[in-house]
Amino acid sequence: MALRPATAGRPRFDIADIVRRHRTEVQLTPAQGRVLSAIAVCRTAVLGGHLDVCRACGFQHPAYNSCRNRHCPKCQALPQEKWIAARAERLLPTGHFHVVFTLPRELRGLARFRPAKLFDALFRAAADSLLELGRTRLNATVGVTMVLHTWTRELDFHPHVHALVTAGGVSQDRSRWVASRPNHLFPVKVMGALLRGKMIAALRRLQADGEFDEFDEFADPRAFDDLMTQLATKSWIVYAKKPFHHSRHVLSYLGRYTHRVGIANSRLVNVTVDAVTFRTKAGKTISLTPAEFLRRFVLHVLPDSLKKIRHYGLYASTHVKRLLPIARARLTARPVEVPAVSTPVSWQEYLQQITGHDVDTCPRCGGRVVHIAVPSLARGPPSGVAA
Please give the full DSSP string across 319-378, using - where no structure is assigned. Answer: GTTTHHHHHHHHTTTS-----------SHHHHHHHHH---TTB-TTT--BEEEEEEPPPS
pLDDT of amino acid 377? 63
Write out pLDDT tens, residues 289-334: 999 999 999 999 999 989 999 999 999 999 999 999 999 999 875 5
- Quickly state the pLDDT bin for 350 (edges 50, 70, 90): low
| Sign of the CA dihedral running 102, 103, 109, 114 | negative
| Percent of the chain scoring above 90 in pLDDT | 63
**CA 33/CA 31 separation, integer angstroms:** 5
**CA 387/CA 384 separation, integer angstroms:** 9
pLDDT of amino acid 11? 73
**What is the average pLDDT across 270-274?**
96
Return the top range by mean pLDDT from 37-46, 88-97, 197-206: 197-206
Write out pLDDT tens, residues 364-380: 787 787 777 777 664 44
Q: What mean pLDDT is reported for the chain?
A: 86
pLDDT of amino acid 373? 76
Name the 3-class secondary structure at 279: strand
Burial of residue 255 (CB within 10 Å: 0-12, 13-18, 19+) is middle
Residue 64 lies in a domain: no
Residue 284 lies in a domain: no
Write out pLDDT tens, residues 129-174: 999 999 999 999 999 999 999 999 999 999 999 999 999 999 999 9
Residue 241 lies in a domain: yes
Residue 385 lies in a domain: no
**What is the average pLDDT across 279-296?**
96
pLDDT of amino acid 366? 74
φ and ψ at 96, to 5 degrees?
Answer: -135, 135
Name the 3-class secondary structure at 286: strand
Q: Which residues contact 185 (CB under 8 A, 6 or more apart)?
A: 97, 99, 165, 167, 240, 243
CA 329 to mean position of chain CA atoms = 31
Question: In this predicted structure, which of 1-15, 66-80, 116-130, 309-323 has the lowest mean pLDDT?
Answer: 1-15
φ and ψ at 243, to 5 degrees?
Answer: -75, 155
Q: Which residues contact 267 (CB under 8 A, 6 or more apart)?
A: 278, 279
Residue 209 lies in a domain: yes
User: In the chain, count of helices (H) and strands (E)?
Assistant: 11, 12
- Quickly state the pLDDT bin for 349 (edges 50, 70, 90): low
Query: Which residue has better confidence, 331 or 381?
Result: 331
Domain carrying residue 258: 92-262+303-330
**CA 219/CA 225 separation, integer angstroms:** 12
pLDDT of amino acid 211? 97
Write out pLDDT tens, residues 214-256: 999 999 999 999 999 999 999 999 999 877 776 667 767 777 7
Q: What angle do CA 360, 88, 123 make, to 5 degrees?
A: 115
Question: In this predicted structure, which of 69-78, 95-104, 122-131, 348-357 has the lowest mean pLDDT?
Answer: 348-357
Give the total number of structural domains in the chain.
1
How many residues belong to the chain? 387
pLDDT of amino acid 351? 56
**What is the average pLDDT across 50-65?**
80
Residue 336 lies in a domain: no
Single-letter amino acid code for the residue at 94: T
Give me the half-sphere count of Cα atoms (radius 13 Å) on the Cβ side of residue 186: 26
Residue 161 lies in a domain: yes
Residue 252 lies in a domain: yes
